[in-house]
Every structure is written in C-alpha cells, then in structure tokens.
Structure 1
Amino acid sequence: MESKTRTSSMKFTVVAATIMTVMVVVPACGEGRIEVIVPDAGSDAGDKGGGGGIGGAGGASSNNACTPACDGECAPLPPPGFSHPFLFAQGSQPIACPDSANLTETTRFAELVIPPAQCAECTCAPSTGECTQPTTITAHAADCNHTEGAIATPTNPPASWNGACAADNALAGGITCAGKACVQSITVGPMGKAKEACSAHASSTVGEFIPSPSWKTYATACQGMARGTCDAALCVPGRTAEFQLCVEREGIHDCPSDGYTKQFVVYDGFKDDRACEPCSCGAPEGSFCQAWLTVYANGACTSPVVAGNVWSGGNTCLDVTPPGAAVGSKLALEPTYNAGTCKPSGGTLSGEVALTSSHTVCCVA
C-alpha cells in the first residue's frame, strides 16, 4: 500500500509541472488581450529566454510595443510663456476645425477695416432776442458836440421802463446851470439786449454717417488630442492644408528664433466710441436794438421837445432847440430787435476705434 501511494503521488507531480509550463501568460501591450507563450521543446528553453519568453530577448520587443508612435504630429516644445501647441488657420471667413482637433474652437480676428466717417455740417440760424428800453436820460448844459465836461442833470425814466409815457424826474423849463441853460441837449443811454441766441442745425445735405468697422481676416484656433508619444516633443493633432501648428501668448511679443518662428497678431475684438460732436452756436454778433424816443415839455407826452432814434450800440445825443426847454415826460415806441449771426461749432468726429485683447501667434514655418 505504501508503494502504490508513492507511485501515484509522483505521477500527479509530473502532470502538474507540465500544466504550469504550458500556462505561462503575459498581457499584450495596450490591447487588453492575454497571450499564451509555449516554449520550444527542450529542457532549457525558458532558462535562455529565446523566442519571446519572459526575461529573454522577447522582453525588449514587448516594451517597444508599449510606447506607440504619435498618430498626429510631434510638435516642438513651446517656449516659456506660450501656450500648448494648437492648429491655427486664417481666412476671409471662419474655418471649421478638423475632426482631429475639434475639442475647442476659438475665433479671433486680424486686419480691421475702418471705413471713413463723416459728420453733418453745422449751421446757425440768425439770432433771436429781446430789447429793453434805455435806463438813463441826461440833460447837458451844452450841445451834443460839447457834452464832455458839461454840467449833467439826470432825468431818468422809472426802473424797468417799458417805454410808456413817464413823467419821472421832470425838469422845469428855463433852469440854469452855472449861468447856462441846463437843457441844451439830451443824452439817452444805450438800450439793452436780452435772451439772445442762435439755433443750431445740422446740414441736411451732408448727413452724419459712421459705418461700423469690419474684420478682413478671421483666425481660427483648434485644440484636440492625439495618441502616442514623441521624443523631446509633444504629440498633437497634425497639420492640414489649411491649418498650421502654432502656440500663442497674450499681448504682442517676438516669436522665438527657432521652432515657432512665424508671427501673427490677432485680436479678440474692437471698441468703437466714435461720435459726431453736437452742433452748437456761439454768442450772437452784430445784433442790435433800436426804438424811437420822444421827450415832451409837459407831463402827458403831448408837447414834444425833441425826438430821435435810440439804439443798443451806445449813447444817443439829441440837441434841444431852443435851449432851456422843459423836460416833462418821455415816451419810447416798441423796440425792434435786429438779428445778428453766430459762429457754429460741433459737427466734428471725436473718439476712436481701438483694438482689444491682442494675442501673438507663433507658428512652425
């Protein structure tokens, strides 16, 4: 019984050893398969590592299979401060990203076209305004040619006089000043002007026109993923007929002297704050007021002594004949406003078109 037991045990051991030899397995790189490796006949096949066995020459071949070649393009490493490499194309319209690099798509712009702008010509209408009556009326003891230094006697109208008949500050007839008749001439002070202005107008023949700028060039940047590895380079989606291999950096910078050497500058957009200055008018020039004024001997404005046209441009002197007459009242007719002109301003273009957010793109030449 003991002898049989030993014999059976030895046979079992041999079978087990054979099974262990046949079932040596290794994983195939990157594909999730299991390969069964069967050694060549001979007792030392596994020991010498022949024909792809574990630990043999087949091990180096297996390691190479674990680092597949880049299925896109091996891009130079970006210089410091620049982005990861991407595909870049420019055209008169946006260009769709290739399927290999369609994870992100960014559109920027170059060559902004700014059409000329024009503003309407500004003009000013004749001025409008109001007139006020003189505030001073003075008698002089000399004729109009010699009033300087002569004795003056005020005979002013009431405050805020509207020209109606007024007997304020009357002077009796025949009064003398230093032996001379006090009333030999009447000097009327200037009229006043009020609420003067010119209305501004923009020309209807040359209207305001500020066309919006437009981009001549659209720049498309595309990011994607490629599989595999490169020696001292980055595996990225490969270039196409339209797309270049590039890196970018915000702002305007020089490109490196090797690798990414071809420079493009693109922008996120623009800001247009141009506008036409509104039309306006300066102060009126050349306008004046005038009215007909009469001085009367009595207080009822019925016995005229002297009359004349007074205005806003300065004093008006009227000689009294005969000298020494009474100044009992005064009356002024409705004044007339004579329009002047105003100098126009405005109608000029202000502001500018400014590019926003520049980016330097450097591409492989």
Structure 2
Amino acid sequence: MTMKRYPIVIALAVAGSFAGCWSGGVIQLYSCDDPCYGLDAYECDDPCAVCEGGCLPLPPLGFDDPIVLWTSDAADEAPVPECPAEAPFVVFDGYGGSGAEHVCPTCRCTEPSCELPRGLTGSASAACDGAAPTSFDAPEGWSGACTAPAAVSSGELGSLRIEAPTVSGCAPAIDPAGALPTPWGARARGCAGSADKHTCREPGKMCVAAPMPLPTGFAMCIRYLRSGAPRCPEEYPDLRELYQGFDDTRSCTPCGCGPLEGSACTALVSVYEDASCGQLLGAETVTLAGPKCVAGPDLRIESMDAVWIKDEPGSCAPTGGVAAGEVTPEGASFFCCQSDEVIAVP
C-alpha cells in the first residue's frame, strides 16, 4: 500500500537534511538523497522529485492522460511539426473538420474562329465538274493576303470552284483556378511523453512532460476513450472533434462543349490574271452555306486574295463540371483541451 505524504512536516533535531511525514501514526523519516528510506520500492513516492513539464488536473473517468495536441489553422499549409523533445511519441495523427465546399473546376470552351477558304479548284468544264481538276491551294493559315499559287500549266479553265469558309471547332478547357480542395480543414498531431501522478505536490494534479510554455499551435488535451462526444470538464473546456481519415468520393463530370451556334462567316474572294493581284479577273462572296462555282470562257488564274465581309464565328456553350459524391469523415476522436484562459502551472 502506497503511503500518502501530506505537507505536515514535523521538525526533528536530526543531523543532516532530513524531513518527516506523519502516516497512520508513524513518522517516516527521509532525505532527498534517500527518499525511500525504510520503504519497499512499490510503496515509495519520491517527495523530492521535480515535475519536468506541467502539473495538470487529473483527467476524469473515461479520459486518457493529458497529451500535447497540435492543430493547424484551416488555411495554414505549413507541414505537420515533429513532436517536441519533451513529448516525443506520436500518439495521434489525423485531421480536423471538412474542407472547402465541393466546387468543381469551371468548364470553358475555346473561342472558335472563321477561317478563309483553303483554295480554288479549276475545271475545264463550265460546271466545276471536270474529270481532271486543277487545285490552287492557299498557304497554311492563309490570312487573305495576295498569294500566287501555281498557274495552269496548259489549256484554259472553263470554271472555278471557290471553297466555302469554315469555322474552327470549340475545345473544352478547364479554369486552372478551380481544382478540388483537400477533404479536410486542418491537420492534427498528438504527442506524449512521460506522465507521473505522484510528482506534483498539489492533490488532484499530475505531472505531464511537455515544453513550457507550449509552442504555437499546441495545447494540453485529454482524449475521450468512450464512444460518442463527451461533456468536457471545466479544466479542459475546449472540445475538438478530429478524424483518422476521410472517405472521399467527390468527382466532377468531364468538361465538354455544346454545338457551335451563331456563326456567320462571309468572305470576298478575288482572283487575278497576274501573279501580283493587279489584274482582276473576278470576285465572289462565299459563306458557310457552301462553295460557289464561277463559270466563264478562257479563265486563267495566277493569284488571289480574300477579305472578310462578316467575321462572326459564334460560340459553344460549355458542359460538364457538375459536382458529384461527398466527403465522409472516418474514425472520429474527441479531445477536451485547455483553453487560452487555462494555463498549466509547472
């Protein structure tokens, strides 16, 4: 049976640094050099020990011994710190709260553009349906400036087929500012060291190894060992609900683009008999409706140019980016912590 020593010291005229305790009618003498004089090891509470940490209130039934708990701010992206040297053992690694609202990235569509005809096709017949057509191709990415494709090598043309302009398609794009956030709102780590229920002189308190004062972000907390949420005691009033992890089933429907709407592209294409767009042979407007056939006797072409009359490519409506799924926290743990107003006394 461990004898309790209360701070009732009887002055004894004994040489050396001795003190005495009254226990059950027996005066127990001891010195700090030999605090367990006359006692078995299991009976001895060292009256000279000094608390290396903080003297904290004993936890109520259902709670574990106090630990040092670090919790990050929800917006803090700093890494999880190592446990302090005084409490080096990691006893909890988890997360706090839920992350930001599940908002999917914004789906967008690239802007389409009106594109000039890719060239002309000459035919010996007057109906643009000759068996051996001759192509006059515009350069890649033609802007409409004067260009001189290869001229007809022999014979004469009876018709010219002017191709229709086209509209480049819309491609889905994702707003880079809209990535899914992490499923948690904060990180947490619990650290523990030695705990001694007999070092502190004040009844109802125990010595817990911890750096004093506590580093920023750390608090002294007790973990609830039973199911459900506890009612925190007065000495540890701050309830914190933390989790071991999350089941994250969030997703977003893929981005896409709807049909092209509102396009109106009209170009005036001119052909010339010389190679520098000086001797006009003729000009014709073409639209998205289709190519045009220009017939005439003795047609010759050595250059061409084009200008836009109407350059309205239209637009595509983005699709997708719809949120689905949810975040479910797993492995809830409840901690009661000292608030800023409750200061541990070493």
Q: Name the TM tier (shorter chain).
A: 0.3 to 0.5
Structure-2-length-normalised TM-score: 0.40
Structure-1-length-normalised TM-score: 0.39
In terms of fraction of residues, the more helix-rich structure is: 1
- Higher CA-based Rg: 1
In terms of fraction of residues, the more strand-rich structure is: 2
